[in-house]
Amino acid sequence: MTTDLSISISELYADAASLQPGDKEAERLVIEAIDLLDRGVERVADVDPATGEVVVHQWLKEAILLLFRLRSIETVTVGPFEFADKLPLKRGFQEAGVRVVPGASARWGSYLAPGSVLMPSYVNIGARVGERSMVDTWATVGSCAQIGADVHLAGGVGIGGVLEPPNARPVVIEDEAFIGSRCMVVEGARVGRGAVLGAGTILNPSIPVIDSKSGVEVSRGEVPAWSVAVGASRRREFPGGEFFLPCVLILETLTEGERHDKVQLNEVLRDHGVAT
Ligand SMILES: CC(C)(COP(=O)(O)OP(=O)(O)OC[C@H]1O[C@@H](n2cnc3c(N)ncnc32)[C@H](O)[C@@H]1OP(=O)(O)O)[C@@H](O)C(=O)NCCC(=O)NCCS
Domains of the chain by residue range? 2-72, 96-255
When pLDDT is averaged across residues 192-213 and rounded to a whole number, the result is: 98
Residue % of the chain over a pLDDT of 70: 95
Mean pLDDT for 4-21 is 94
User: What confidence tier does 273 reach under pLDDT thresholds 50, 70, 90?
Assistant: very low
CATH code, residues 96-255: 2.160.10.10
Which residues lie across from 233 on neighbouring strands? 246
Ligand 1 centroid distance, CA of 230 (Å):
7
pLDDT at 37 > cutoff 50:
yes
Cβ proximity of 106 and 89 under 8 Å: yes
pLDDT interval class at 19 (50, 70, 90): very high
Nearest-atom number in ligand 1 for the CA of 178 is 41
Identify the band that residue 263 occupies on the pLDDT scale cut at 50, 70 and 90. confident
Confidence bin at 184 (pLDDT 50/70/90)? very high
**CA-wise closest residue to 248 among 212, 199, 209:** 209
Q: Which atom of ligand 1 is nearest to the CA of 155?
A: 48
The CB of 196 under 6 Å from ligand 1? The reply is: yes
pLDDT of residue 276: 40
In this structure, the residue with its CA closest to atom 38 of ligand 1 is 198
The Å distance, Cα 228 to ligand 1 centre, comes to: 9
Q: Tell me, using a 6 A CB cutoff, whether residue 254 lines ligand 1.
A: no
Question: What CATH code is assigned to 2-72?
Answer: 1.10.166.10
152, 185, 251: residue to mutate for ligand 1 pocket, most atoms within 8 A of CB: 251
Instruction: With a cut of 70, say whether residue 260 has pLDDT above it.
Output: yes
Q: Between vectors from CA 160 to CA 156 and to CA 166, what angle results, nearest 5°?
A: 160
Q: For residue 208, with 0-12 CB atoms within 10 Å meaning exposed, 13-18 middle and 19 or more buried, which class applies? A: middle
Segment 109-132 mean pLDDT: 98
pTM given for the model: 0.94
